[in-house]
């Protein structure tokens, strides 16, 4: 009997990373394709999987961890499509259809951040936790929640980047970068929101620049909100902004202050950096594919 073989897709706004993994969680081949037009990028993706399938055998399941927003309602006619995105040409793009048309295997799709949450729970910083959250703080802010090994979905995927936050007293004049909300986490604490105010990333700004405290304060509010709703065993902070020296410690300390000792969970213990680094995307796709045949 042939061993299971998984096709992996980490679909990003600038590149698609593709992979083939064995049942032992080993990624045995990878490829990168620039994200240009849906026709060109998805065509190249299908061609690569055909070639890999010829080399290694038929695919058992394919997992896609993608930028969004995505239609994830399995009953919807456009399940597996990107819904509306500012990325030119990609609104309405069908990510699943081209694979389904060529490969006789099930295909799973979820957001990249949900994939990362699942992968961190299976192999990384949230292993063994009943409830874990993964937040990415980068070009945008997004979050995924794993409960008892499964991703939490509502009618759609969570939109944790758009929780409202209270303004820092030193940050009252900035309009925010979210075009929907003036005072949401993404609009005030994402990479573009930092550049829009101070012209540089946090890691380029001095350690004693007020921006450090302001951004830590917003992220700490997210910690307290998530503690209040979930009391999670881990809140993993990924993304470029968290590469800023000392930001993790600042967020932990400020969250402890804001929480004021009320929550059972302690920020110093539950707020952590990712365990899988930049492998979380592709491993997220693997976790999604594995769950199709579990």
Closest CA to 19 of 119, 94, 117, 147: 119
Judging by DSSP bridges, how do beta strands 5-11 and 271-272 pair with one another? unpaired
Cα distances from 212 to residues 28, 183, 253, 290, 293, in angstroms, run 41, 18, 13, 40, 45
3-state secondary structure of 174: coil
Interaction residues for Zn ion, span 142-201 (CB under 5 A): 162, 178, 180-181, 184, 187
The H or E element containing residue 249 is helix 247-259
Cβ-count burial of 235 within 10 angstroms (0-12 exposed, 13-18 middle, 19+ buried)?
buried
Residue 12: CB minimum distance to Zn ion, A: 21
Residue 276: alpha-carbon gap to chain centroid: 13
Q: What phi, psi does 18 have (nearest 5°)?
A: -110, 155
Q: Please, what is the minimum distance in Å from the beta carbon of residue 181 to Zn ion?
A: 4
> Which tokens sit at 78?
């456009």
Residue 40: other Cβ atoms inside 10 A: 13
Edge-to-edge order in the sheet of strand 27-34: 27-34, 15-22, 5-11, 61-66, 107-111
Instruction: Give the relative orientation of helices 280-293 and 112-123 as an angle to the nearest 10 degrees.
Output: 80
Omega prior to 69 cis, within 30 of 0: yes
> Nearer to Zn ion by C-beta: 162 or 279?
162
Which chain residues interact with Zn ion by CB under 5 A? 162, 178, 180-181, 184, 187
């Amino acid at each position: 009997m042939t061993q299971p073989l998984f096709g992996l897709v980490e679909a990003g706004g600038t590149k698609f990373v593709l992979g083939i993994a064995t049942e032992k969680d080993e990624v045995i081949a990878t490829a990168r394709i620039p994200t240009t037009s849906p026709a060109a990028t998805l065509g190249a993706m299908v061609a690569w999987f055909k070639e890999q399938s010829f080399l290694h055998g038929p695919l058992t399941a394919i997992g896609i961890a993608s930028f969004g927003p995505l239609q994830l309602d399995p009953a919807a006619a456009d399940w597996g499509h990107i819904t509306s995105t500012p990325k030119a040409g990609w609104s309405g793009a069908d990510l699943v259809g081209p694979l389904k048309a060529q490969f006789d295997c099930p295909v799973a799709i979820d957001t990249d951040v949900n994939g990362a949450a699942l992968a961190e729970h299976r192999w990384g910083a949230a292993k063994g936790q009943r409830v874990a959250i993964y937040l990415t703080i980068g070009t945008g802010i997004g979050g995924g929640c794993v409960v008892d090994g499964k991703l939490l979905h509502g009618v759609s995927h969570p939109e944790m980047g758009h929780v409202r936050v209270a303004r820092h007293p030193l940050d009252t004049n900035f309009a925010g970068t979210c075009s929907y909300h003036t005072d949401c986490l993404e609009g005030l604490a994402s990479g573009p929101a930092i550049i829009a105010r101070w012209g540089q990333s946090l890691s380029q700004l001095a350690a004693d620049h007020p921006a450090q405290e302001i951004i830590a304060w917003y992220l700490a509010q997210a910690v307290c909100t998530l503690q209040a709703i979930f009391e999670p065993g881990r809140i993993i902070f990924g993304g470029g902004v968290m590469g800023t020296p000392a930001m993790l410690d600042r967020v932990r300390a400020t969250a402890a202050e804001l929480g004021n000792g009320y929550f059972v969970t302690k920020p110093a213990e539950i707020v952590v950096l990712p365990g899988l680094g930049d492998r979380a995307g592709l491993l997220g796709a693997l976790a999604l594919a594995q769950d199709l045949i579990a």
